[in-house]
Amino acid sequence: MSSPSAGTAEIVRQESLFGRLPLLPEEREYGTLGAHATCFAYAVATWCFMFGGYAARLVGAVQGTICLVAGSVLGVFLTTMAPSLACQRYGLEQIDYCKTAFGQRGSKIILIFYVVNQVGWTGLILVMFGNGLRNILRALGYRPGTWVVGAGVALGLWLTYLLVTRGVHLLNVSNAFIAPSLVVMTVVMFTMLLWKHGWHEIALARPLRPLADPWLNYMIVFEWGVAAGFSWWAGVGFLARNTGTRRNAVYPEILQLGLGMALVCCVSLFSSLVVHTDDPTEWMVPIGGMVMGIMALVFVVLANISTSAVAIFTCGLALRHIGLLRSRPWWHLVLWALVACVPFVFWPEQLYDMGNAFLAYNGTMYAPISGILFADLVFLRRGRLNVWDIFDDDPRGEYHYSRGFNWPALVSVLIGEVLYLYLFDPLALTAHPVFRWATASLPACIVPGLVYWGWMAALRRGTPAARGILAPAPGAGPGAAVPGEFALAGAAPAPARRLRRPNI
C-alpha cells in the first residue's frame, strides 16, 4: 500500500499530465517533428471523409479542392494564432486561457460551445460507424434494415465508453495504430481512384446536388472549408501547450490541421464525385473493390471509435471546469458526455443529413470567439497575460470583470452569431448578397473582434477601474512586451505571490 505522501505526489502528477496545471517547458513533449506528426495524426481523422462528401454535393473536383484547401488553411490560421501563442507561452489549457477575455465565469459559456462541438462530432462520427457496419453487411451479401445504423451508434457509444474509461494509455495505443493506418488507407484509395478513373474523369465529374447558382455553390463550399478550419479551435490549445517553442506551436497546426486535413478531404471529394454518393462508407467498395473496399470499411469503422474516444476524452477533461463535476469520478464525466449523444441512436439518418449545418455551426460559434481572442491577445494585451489571475477566483482579480463575466466579449460573441445567421442560413443554404463575396465566417470573426477591441479600448480610457481591466496587477507581469513580437524583453523577477482563491 502506498504512503499518503506518495499518493499525494501521484495525484499532483496526474493533475499536471491530464488536468489543468500549466505545463512547464521541460514537461512539454513536442519538438518540431513531434508537433508536425501529432498535428497530422489529429488532422487525418474520419471526419475528413465527411467534409469531402459534403463538398461533393455542390461543386466539382477543381473548385472543391480550391475551396477546401484555401478555406481550411484560412480558418485554422484565424482560430489558432491567439490560443497557440498564449497557451504555448504559459502552458495553459484552452478554457483557462479563455478566462482572460471572457472572465472566470464567462469562460464557462465558451465551455458549453466546446462540449456541444465535441458531442456533435462524436454523434456524427458514430452514425458513420453505423453506416459502415451496414455497408459491410451489404458488401457481404446481407440486406440489413436501417435499424442497423441506430444499433451501430449504440454499439459505438458503448465501445467509446470502454476505450475512454480504460485510460489514456489504451487510447494512445489505439491512436498510434489508427492514425498511420488511416494515412496508408487514404493513399491506397487515392492511388486506386486515379488508376481506375484517371484525373480527367474526376475533374469532369458533376456535383451531386448543386444549387442553381454556381457562384453560391462555390462560396458555400469555401464557407464550409473555413468552418472546418474553425472547428479546430477546441484542440489547438491542447497541442500548443505541449510544444517547446512558439514556431512549433503555430506552423505545424496551420500546415497539418489546415493543409493536411484539406488534402485528405479532397480524396473523399474525388471519390464521392466519381461514385455519386456523399456517404464515405458507400464509395469504398466501388473504388477499392470487394476485398480492399471491405478492408477499408472495417478500418474506417475502427477509426471512428478511436476518433470518438478522443473527442469524448477532451470533453470529459473540459467538464472538470464545472464545479459540481470537478470531483466526480472519471466514468461519470464520460457517461454525461455520451448520454448527450443518445439522440443519434434514434434519429441517425436525420441528424447525419444535418451534418453540413453542424459544420457551419462551428463557424457560427468559433469565428466570433477566435476574433475576440485575437483582438484581446494581440491588440489589447500585446501578448502578455496575468497568469496568476487566471487561477484566482478573487473578485479583485484581473479576469473577474463584472461578477466573473466580461460582457463586452460575451456581447461581441452574440453579435458575431447574429451576423453569421443574417448572412447565411446553414439549414436552408440561403445567403445574403454580402455572403457572395465575404462568406459568413470571416465577417463573424472580424466584426466581433473589432467591436470587442473598440469597446475595451473605450473602457480603458474611461474609469480607473476599467483601466484595471487591462493593466496587469502589480507584480503580476514580468515586464512589458515588445508590440507584435510576443517577447517580454527586460523581464524582472516578480515578487513572491500566493493565490487568494485558487480555482484549480
Partner 1 sequence: MRPTMAQSSASDETGDRREAAAEAIVRDLERRLRILESADEERFGEFGALDWTVSVLAFLVAPLVLVWWGAP
Is 428 or 489 the residue whose CB approaches partner 1 more closely? 489
Q: Where are the alpha helices (DSSP H) in 59-143?
A: 61-90, 94-102, 106-139
Q: Which is nearer to partner 1, 127 or 249 (CB)?
A: 249
State the minimum distance, in angstroms, from the CB of residue 212 to partner 1: 13
- Report, in Å, the least distance between residue 494 CB and partner 1: 5
- E strands, 319-445, in order: 424-425, 430-431
347 φ/ψ angles, rounded to the nearest 5 degrees: -130, 55
Nearer to partner 1, 254 or 319 (CB): 254
Least separation in angstroms between residue 142's CB and partner 1 is 43
Looking at residue 329, its amino acid is P
C-beta closer to partner 1: residue 6 or 137: 6
The secondary structure element, H or E, covering residue 259 is none
Torsions phi, psi of 294, nearest 5? -65, -40
Cβ proximity of 488 and 444 under 8 Å:
no
Long-range contact list for 465-471, CB < 8 A, 24+ apart? 468/398, 469/398, 469/401, 469/406, 470/380, 470/381
CB 216 within 8 A of CB 356: no
Where b means 16+ CB within 10 Å and e means fewer, 435-450 reads beebbbbbbbbbbbbe
CB 299, CB 182: distance < 8 Å: yes
Please list, in sequence order, all residues whose beta carbon lies within 8 angstroms of the beta carbon of residue 29, skipping any fewer than 6 positions away: 242
Q: How far does Cα 320 stand from its chain's mean position?
A: 18
Q: How far is the CB of 115 from partner 1 (least distance, A)?
A: 24
Residues listed for the chain: 504
Cβ distance to partner 1 smaller for residue 353 or 485: 485
Of 62 and 339, nearer to partner 1 (C-beta) is 62
* Shortest Å, Cβ 478 to partner 1: 6
For the bound state, the minimum distance from the C-beta of residue 272 to partner 1, rounded and expressed in Å, comes to 19
Residues at the contact surface with partner 1, assessed by CB under 8 A = 4, 7-9, 11-12, 15-16, 21-22, 24-25, 62-63, 66-67, 69-71, 73-74, 76-78, 81, 85, 88-91, 214-215, 217-218, 222, 244-248, 250, 254, 258, 387-388, 391, 476-478, 484-489, 491, 493-494, 496-499, 502, 504
Q: How far is the CB of 487 from partner 1 (least distance, A)?
A: 5
- Our CB check for partner 1 shows the closer of 276 and 326 to be 326
Give CA–CA dist 14/195, Å, rounded.
50
Nearest residue (CB) to partner 1, 22 versus 156: 22
For residue 304, give the C-alpha cell: 471512428
Smallest separation (angstroms) from partner 1 to the CB of 460: 23
Q: Look at residues 78, 112, 81, 79 and name the one whose alpha carbon lies nearest to residue 95.
A: 112
Cα–chain center distance at 112: 13
Contacts of 418 (CB under 8 A, 6+ apart): none
Cell numbers for 38, please give them. 501529432
Read off φ and ψ for residue 483, nearest 5 degrees: -50, 130
Q: Rounded to the nearest 5°, which phi and psi values hold at 315?
A: -65, -45
Min. distance of Cβ 15 from partner 1 in angstroms? 5
Nearest residue (CB) to partner 1, 62 versus 458: 62
Instruction: Give whichever of 7 and 462 is closer to partner 1, judged by the CB atom.
Output: 7
In the complex, least distance from residue 51 CB atom to partner 1, rounded to whole angstroms: 16
